[in-house]
């Protein structure tokens, strides 16, 4: 046997294997650069299919998301309320604020003297307020009551909020939600006819005074509040929210100073407001 015989058998076996695998040619008629052939070629712009448009989210709250129309409806209902009880009922029946449909149990309007010389405006209802139907009845509310009592104001206040339904998770109400509720709030101010406003916390202050500064720079100062229609004007003082005071007890002296300043002005009608 020649030395080439084992190699011939190996070659035959390999050729048979390639034939069974479907390889019928060892060489191509033309050279092929497989490195170049393996490169990715982006499709021409004309070949690209346009990406589908992103899905559009449904409007929040449906028709009630139209803030302008909701405000108009709120104004109409508020103007028709001859007294505070009728205003409370109008608020409860109003469907234009999305907060009403985001987990709130009920509308939370107000508490206090209907002819109070001081009207206190907070941010919005919390969990306890939502359950009981009255504003400022939780821990922060109890602290506010103690502060008002110490200043001699317990029976001289009417307390409400910028929105009348609890925001989910106790978040800050949006400017749109506050704007939707504002006609009812302004009608409450008109019916109570107070001599001045106490704005409790940053959201209330920014909404009522249209200011962007922080509450620490606004608190303790006098501002003139004017209604949207311009028919009502009252002196207004921002102060710290009692919930903030519970977290920062050292700030209580600042809020107490604000109340003393406000009470002093409230008790001198003969000198003018």
Rounded Cα gap, residues 206 and 204, in angstroms: 6
Residue 82 lies in a domain: yes
Provide the token pair at 66. Answer: 């139209």
Residue 78 lies in a domain: yes
Per-residue model confidence (pLDDT) at position 49: 52
Residue 126 lies in a domain: yes
Rounded Cα gap, residues 67 and 181, in angstroms: 10
Residue 85 lies in a domain: yes
Q: Are strands 157-161 and 223-226 parallel, antiparallel or unpaired?
A: unpaired
Number of domains in the chain: 1
DSSP letter (8 states) at residue 103: T
Per-residue model confidence (pLDDT) at position 66: 87
Residue with tokens 């709030």: 185
Walking along the chain (273 residues) 10 residues at a time, the average pLDDT comes out as 57 58 52 56 51 50 70 98 98 97 97 98 98 97 97 97 97 97 98 98 98 96 96 97 97 97 88 47
Per-residue model confidence (pLDDT) at position 32: 57
Residue 106 lies in a domain: yes
In sequence order, which residues have a C-beta less than 8 Å from that of residue 260 and are 6 or more positions away? 151
CATH number of the domain encompassing residue 181: 3.40.470.10
Per-residue model confidence (pLDDT) at position 62: 47
Rounded Cα gap, residues 132 and 200, in angstroms: 20
Rounded Cα gap, residues 185 and 124, in angstroms: 12
Q: Provide the edge-to-edge strand list for the sheet that holds 233-239.
A: 111-112, 157-161, 118-122, 196-200, 233-239, 223-226
Residue 33 lies in a domain: no
Task: Pinpoint the alpha helices (H) of 33-174.
Answer: 34-37, 67-80, 84-93, 127-132, 139-150
Residue 44 lies in a domain: no
In sequence order, which residues have a C-beta less than 8 Å from that of residue 127 and are 6 or more positions away? 138, 166, 170
Rounded Cα gap, residues 22 and 19, in angstroms: 5
Per-residue model confidence (pLDDT) at position 2: 53
- Which sign does the torsion angle of CA 261, 263, 269, 273 carry? positive
List the domain range (segments joined by +) for residue 124: 66-268
């Amino acid at each position: 046997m020649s030395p080439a015989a084992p190699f011939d058998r190996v070659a035959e076996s390999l050729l048979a294997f390639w034939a069974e695998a479907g390889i019928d040619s060892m060489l191509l008629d033309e050279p092929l650069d497989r490195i170049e052939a393996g490169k990715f070629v982006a499709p021409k712009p004309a070949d690209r299919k346009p990406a589908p448009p992103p899905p559009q989210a449904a409007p929040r709250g449906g028709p009630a998301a139209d803030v302008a129309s909701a405000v108009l409806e709120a104004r109409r209902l508020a103007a028709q309320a001859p007294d505070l009880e009728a205003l409370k009922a109008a608020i409860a029946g109003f469907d234009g604020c999305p907060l009403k449909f985001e987990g709130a149990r009920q509308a939370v309007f107000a508490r206090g003297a209907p002819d109070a010389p001081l009207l206190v405006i907070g941010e919005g209802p919390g969990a306890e307020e939502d359950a009981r139907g009255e504003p400022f009845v939780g821990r922060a509310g109890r602290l506010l009551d103690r502060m008002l009592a110490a200043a001699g104001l317990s029976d001289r206040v009417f307390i409400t909020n910028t929105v009348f339904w609890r925001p989910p998770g106790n978040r800050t109400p949006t400017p749109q939600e506050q704007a939707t509720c504002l006609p009812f709030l302004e009608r409450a101010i008109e019916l109570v006819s107070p001599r001045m406003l106490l704005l409790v916390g940053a959201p209330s202050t920014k909404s009522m005074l249209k200011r962007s500064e922080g509450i620490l720079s606004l608190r303790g100062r006098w501002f003139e509040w004017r209604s949207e229609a311009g028919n009502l004007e009252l002196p207004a003082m921002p102060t710290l929210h009692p919930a903030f005071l519970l977290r920062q007890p050292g700030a209580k002296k600042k809020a107490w100073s604000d109340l003393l300043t406000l009470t002093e002005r409230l008790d001198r009608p003969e000198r003018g407001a």
